[in-house]
A and B are shown apart, each in its own frame.
Chain A
Amino acid sequence: MEKVIQTADAIEKTLQRMAYEIMEKHESVDNIVFVGIRTRGVYLAKRLKEKFDKAASKNAPIGELDITLYRDDLSQIADAPVIKATTINFDINGKNIILTDDVLYTGRTIRAALTELADFGRPASIELAVLIDRGHRELPISANYIGKSVPTSRKEFIQVKLKEEDKEDIVILGERNDR
């Protein structure tokens, strides 16, 4: 059984609100940069950046992070993901990074992303923006900007589909078949 959590329209409005929140939270927006976590976090970061740029009349730098090499379960994962490059073509020292991902779940992806970012420099701050927070954290990590909090059970799954990758914008909550 599947349930629609967010429609295309809702995703659009949510991201708009989050872009405003980012502006509101920061006295100066000069040092704001966006970094998306592959794969869907990259597209969300791009959309957030566009909305932020428009509202703040800026052109914020944007980077892409592939955290595969920083995972703590590399030797355990059954289906090895294809490794893609990390591209951060700007100096992150002293910047306010808005780290972006689609779903916040155990927090392990974010832990890996923070470790990887530290290898690129020492930003002034790192804040986390996620479209969906579904709970069940296994690490002390929380998001600064949340599109929507969705209480879930571990048996359920959240699927974020985005036009750039999946041809449509939609967020679905479903039940896993016996695992």
Chain B
Amino acid sequence: MTDKFIWTKKDLLGIEYLSAAEIEHILDTAASFKEVSTRDIKKVPALRGKTAANLFYEPSTRTRVSFEVAEKRLSCDVINMDMKASSVLKGETLADTGRNLEALKIDVFIIRHTYAGAANVLSKFVKGSVINAGDGKHEHPTQALLDMYTLREKFGKIKGLNVAIIGDISHSRVARSNIWGLRKLGANVVLCAPEIILPKYAREFGVKVTSNIDEALKDAHAINVLRMQFERDDIKSFPTPSEYFKNYGITKERLKKCRPDIVVMHPGPMNRGLEISSDVADGKNSVILEQVTNGIAVRMAVLFLTITAKRGENEILN
């Protein structure tokens, strides 16, 4: 870790747009922020006087709460906006929402949206930082960062790790962001799902794709178990939940055939007995709650770096 790293990106729109060095720098910074949450007074004044707007166009509890906790631990003022109940209903465009909030002198916008690219669009209209908290099926960068952070904490490094991503990959922005990040940091990625929902195009990203769960889990250092999104219409043709659990659910029996130190991750919320059994979710290989804790440190790092990013106009200073 070098003593000087000039962070220049005001936005975090996706892992796709980051270099390996930038990802590592976020993870290094997060490691330092983790300590803050262990203090009696869990707060530092780093972003005092800044204001964050959490714009959630799609329901979210854990991501929104995690961002809010991260913002508050950095002394940032927080405005939560449930966009479904606001001006969207009255027909306001994203650009106008952004401009109006900027007129209120907001410094950072956290946006969760049903449409892919919503964060990118917003970033074109505001001078403040934009952090993508999940856009359609596109990306969920802070989730991938906290997954990578957790892996790095467990194994020391990401390079050379075998990571299996199991489940509803084609609907998953978590999978997409993880694939970008893990490939950039040199991990080997296997995607596994029933043939019918397996995205074949994924091979273009340099990952292995299989519908054979045993093959995917063999030699894996870590499994990222995705939530089966049965509420989505286009998954109705799919095998029943009980069939899925039988063939792809992560159970104690399946883990027995894996490396003893295998790490089980899940971005939440979990469907117990569907994609993961309770004894695995609560078992010794599970890092699911550590992911939640690490999410705060990672989001603090992202907030801090994007808000204090060295912007273009500062370049002349040096």
Contact = CB atoms under 8 A, between A and B. Distances in A.
25 contacts: A68-B46, A69-B36, A69-B46, A70-B46, A75-B308, A78-B318, A80-B5, A80-B6, A80-B308, A80-B310, A81-B3, A81-B4, A82-B2, A82-B5, A82-B25, A82-B29, A83-B32, A83-B304, A85-B34, A116-B44, A119-B40, A119-B43, A119-B44, A120-B39, A120-B41
A75 B46 CA distance: 9
Contact of B45 (A69, A81, A83): A69
Contacts of A79: 4, 6, 310, 318
- A interface SS class: loop
A87 B318 CA distance: 32
A124 interface: no
A68 B3 CA distance: 13
Interface in A55-79: 66, 68-70, 74-75, 78-79
A83 B29 contact: yes
Interface of B: 1-7, 25, 28-29, 31-36, 39-41, 43-46, 74, 304, 308, 310, 314, 317-318
B230 to A, nearest CB: 42
A175 B44 CA distance: 36
Interface of B is mostly: loop
Given A80-B308, A119-B41, A85 B314 contact: no
A68 B36 CA distance: 13
Contacts of B29: 82-83
A79 B74 CA distance: 20
Contacts of A115: 45
Given A69-B36, A83-B32, A84-B32, 15 more contacts: A66-B32, A68-B46, A69-B44, A69-B304, A70-B45, A70-B46, A74-B308, A78-B314, A80-B7, A81-B4, A82-B28, A85-B31, A85-B34, A116-B44, A119-B44
A120 B35 CA distance: 12
A80 B10 CA distance: 14
Contacts, number: 60
Interface of A: 39, 66, 68-70, 74-75, 78-87, 115-116, 119-121
Nearest to A83: B32
Contacts of B5: 80, 82
Contacts of B31: 85
B25 to A, nearest CB: 8
Closest 10 CB pairs of A and B: A69-B46, A69-B44, A78-B317, A119-B41, A85-B32, A85-B35, A83-B32, A78-B318, A84-B32, A83-B29
Contacts of B33: 83
Contacts of A70: 44-46
Contacts of B7: 80
Contacts of A85: 31-32, 34-35
Nearest to B309: A80
Nearest to A120: B39
